[in-house]
Each structure stands twice: as C-alpha cells, then as structure tokens.
Amino acid sequence: MNHLWSPWRSTYIQSFSESKQSGDCFLCDASQSHAQDSLLIGESPHSIIIMNRYPYNAGHVLLSPKRHCADLLMLSDEEYLDLMHLTRSMQAVLVATYAPHGFNIGMNLGEAGGAGVPGHLHVHIVPRWNGDTNFMSTVADAKVISSSMETIVTELKANFLKIMQSTEPDRGTAL
C-alpha cells in the first residue's frame, strides 16, 4: 500500500479534537452567527453553506443542516430536500464562479465513515480541475491555493446571491 503524507492536516485534526473536548460545534456556531468576518456564504430555511477552513481546493465548501443532526436518517423530509436543493445550487455557483472541470461531492457519516465532525452531518463540495494535484503537497508539505479565503468567500457570496435570486428566490440568501 502506498501512503500519501499530509502533515499540514494536523492543524485541522487538532481543531476537531479541541472541539470534541469542549463540546463546541463549529457548524452550529456558524448557523447562529452572521458575523461579517465569518466564512458563511449563504443559507436556506434549513441549511447553511460555509467555506471549509482547511480546503483541499479553492472553493471547497461545506453545507449542513442548521439543526445539529448526525445522520441523514435523522433529517425530516423538508430538511433533507432543502439540503439537497442547496447542494445543487452551490454546485451551480461554483461552476459560475470558477468553471471547474469536475467535482467531488459527498458526506462522511460517523467516525468509522471518516466524519471529522461526527455529530453534525455536512456535505463537502470540492471543485476539481485537471491537474489540480501536484508535487507541492508531497514534497513541500503545502497545498497551493491561489486565492485568499476572503476573496473566495466574497466571490461565492456574490454569485450565490445572483443564482439564488434568478432560480429560487425563496430558497436561500447570501450572508
């Protein structure tokens, strides 16, 4: 078996260990806070979109129900549909903003399933481009993301608002 070492992810892992110990949930905190400096991109009646603080690529976002919920089976039909509609809308935002060549979209449920936040389900949307992986992450312990987090959030909020107003005016709002 080959191994790909990614020591820069230790900051990410450590942050979740600290959150588990304190009982905090950054997704719940994000859904309750609309601070100007937050990484929130938008919301719908039952869900939020937030930038991943430790992204694999530019535009890597997380979508989660506002209600603290660990599993798809625990969502009401209304919450589930809202989350899926928002996922589709956010994919359209990423296409309009960055024109990626493809996407990884998915969930890791439960600790055994690889969930970093096992108590609060979330959907990852990772835009992908041909050739977006390179030697930097292997030899330099660095992932190159060519835009600042603030720029990415600003661009995504603007396009989220445009797309939501033109396609689903009552479904979501930019934050």
Number of domains in the chain: 1
Domain membership of residue 6 (yes or no) is no
Q: What is the CATH number of the domain that holds 87?
A: 3.30.428.10
Average pLDDT, the chain: 81
What pLDDT digit, counting tens, does each position of 12-28 carry?
555 545 545 446 898 99
pLDDT at 36 over 70: no
> Side chain identity at 109, as an amino acid letter?
L
Q: Whole-prediction pTM value?
A: 0.77
- Name the DSSP class of 130: T
The pLDDT of residue 8 is 53
The pLDDT of residue 138 is 47
The rounded distance, in Å, linking the Cα atoms of 10 and 76 is: 35
The rounded distance, in Å, linking the Cα atoms of 165 and 102 is: 25
Domain membership of residue 41 (yes or no) is yes
How would residue 30 be classed by pLDDT, with cut points 50, 70 and 90? Answer: confident
pLDDT at 29 over 70: yes
Domain membership of residue 4 (yes or no) is no
In terms of average pLDDT, the best of 7-16, 63-72, 145-154 is: 63-72
The rounded distance, in Å, linking the Cα atoms of 63 and 172 is: 12
The pLDDT of residue 122 is 96
Higher pLDDT residue, 135 or 95? 95
Domain membership of residue 66 (yes or no) is yes
- Sorted by sequence, the CB contacts under 8 Å of residue 161 that are 6+ apart come out as 42, 173, 174
Domain membership of residue 153 (yes or no) is yes
The pLDDT of residue 54 is 86
The rounded distance, in Å, linking the Cα atoms of 79 and 83 is: 6
What pLDDT digit, counting tens, does each position of 108-150 carry?
999 998 888 889 999 999 999 998 775 545 444 555 566 788 8
The pLDDT of residue 24 is 83
- Residue span of the structural domain in which 113 resides: 25-174
